[in-house]
Amino acid sequence: MLVIIKENYDAMSNEAAQIVADRLRRKPNLVLGLATGTTPLGMYKVLIRLHKQEGLDFSKVTTFNLDEYVGLPPTHEQSYRYFMNVNLFNHINIPERNIYVLDGMADDIDAHCDWFEQEIAKAGGVDVQILGIGANGHIAFNEPGSSLGSRTRVKTLTDTTRWDNARFFEKKGEVPKYALTMGVGSIMDAKELLLLSSGKEKADAIKAAAEGPITAQVPASVIQLHRKAYVIVDKEAASKLSSSYPGTWRSSFTLEL
C-alpha cells in the first residue's frame, strides 16, 4: 500500500487525476473502474480539463462503474448513471458503447450481475479502479459483513449508508434500500486501486482501512492485501493515522507499495 497524504481536497484530486492520466497515456485502451459520490468529483474535473486543454484521449477507454441503486432508471437524477453522465461522460470523448454501468432496473438481477462480471473479464479486467470509502468502511456498496471474496450482486444498504446518502434525496424514505454492486473480490481483481478520501468525517474509516485488522466488518481494509493499492487522502482524512507516511513529498509514480 502506498499512502499519499496531500494538503487538501484539490491536491488529493489532482494527484489521483495525474495517476489516471499517466496510466491512460501509457495504455490508450485503459479499462477504468469508476466511483460515484462527492469524493471523486474533483478528480473528474481535472480529467475533463486535461481532456479539453491537453487532448487527453478517452476514445479507446472502457469504463465499469462500481455500483447502482436498485429501482432507479438511468434518467433519474440520483441514479449513478445520471451522475456519471453529468460529472464525466458528457464532457469527454468516450464512446457510449464503452460505458458499463449496472442497470438498477434489470429484471433478472442475478443474470445481469453475471453479465457485468463477464464484460469485465472480456475487457481484460480493470486496470485502474477508483474507490471512495463510506464512513462505515464500505467500498462501492459492500457494507460491513460483506464477503471479502464477493462478486457483483445485490446488497441491502445499511441505515448508516442510507442516512449518509439521504442528503442527495428530498426525503430519506426515497433513498433506495438495495443496490447492485461489484463485490469486494471483483474490486480486488483490478490491477491498481486508488482509494480517495477527504475530510475529518472519514478519518476513522481511513484509519481502520489502512491500519486496522483486515476484516469483513471494514470491507475497505482488504486493500491491505492488494499488490498495488494507493490510498490518497487529504490531511483531515489522514488525521487519525498513527504511522508516518512519506507520501506528502514522494512522487506517486515511484512504486513503493
Q: State the residues that interact with ligand GLP by CB under 6 A.
A: 35-39, 66-67, 132-134, 140-141, 161, 165
- Annotated catalytic residue within 138, 164, 165, 192: 138
57 is catalytic: no
DSSP 95: -
What is the nearest approach in angstroms of ligand GLP to the Cβ of residue 36? 6
Cβ neighbours, 10 Å, residue 110: 11
CB nearer to ligand GLP: pick between 56 and 69: 69
Q: How far apart, in whole angstroms, are the C-alpha atoms of residue 51 and residue 54? A: 6
Per-residue HEC secondary structure of 129-195 comes to: EEECCCCCCCECCECCCCCCCCCCEEEECCHHHHHHHHHHCCCHHHCCCEEEECCHHHHHCCCEEEE
Nearer to ligand GLP, 65 or 98 (CB): 65
85 as an active site residue: the answer is no
> Residue holding cell 464512446?
95
> Which residue in the shown chain puts its C-beta closest to ligand GLP?
132
**Least separation, in Å, of the C-beta of 202 and ligand GLP?**
7
Which C-beta is closer to ligand GLP: that of 57 or that of 105? 105
52 in helix, strand or coil? helix
Minimum CB separation from ligand GLP for residue 244, in Å?
Answer: 26
Residue 76 annotated among the catalytic residues of the structure: no
Active-site entry in 15, 67, 68, 117: 67
The CB-of-232 to ligand GLP minimum distance in angstroms stands at 13
Minimum distance of ligand GLP from residue 214's CB (angstroms)? 19
CB 192 within 8 A of CB 128: yes
- CB closer to ligand GLP out of 38 and 118: 38
Active site residue 67: yes
Q: Which helix (H) or strand (E) segment is 20 a member of?
A: helix 9-26
Question: Nearer Cβ to ligand GLP, position 35 or 94?
Answer: 35
For 198, how many CA atoms within 13 A lie in the half-sphere containing its CB? 19
Residues forming the active site: 67, 136, 138, 143
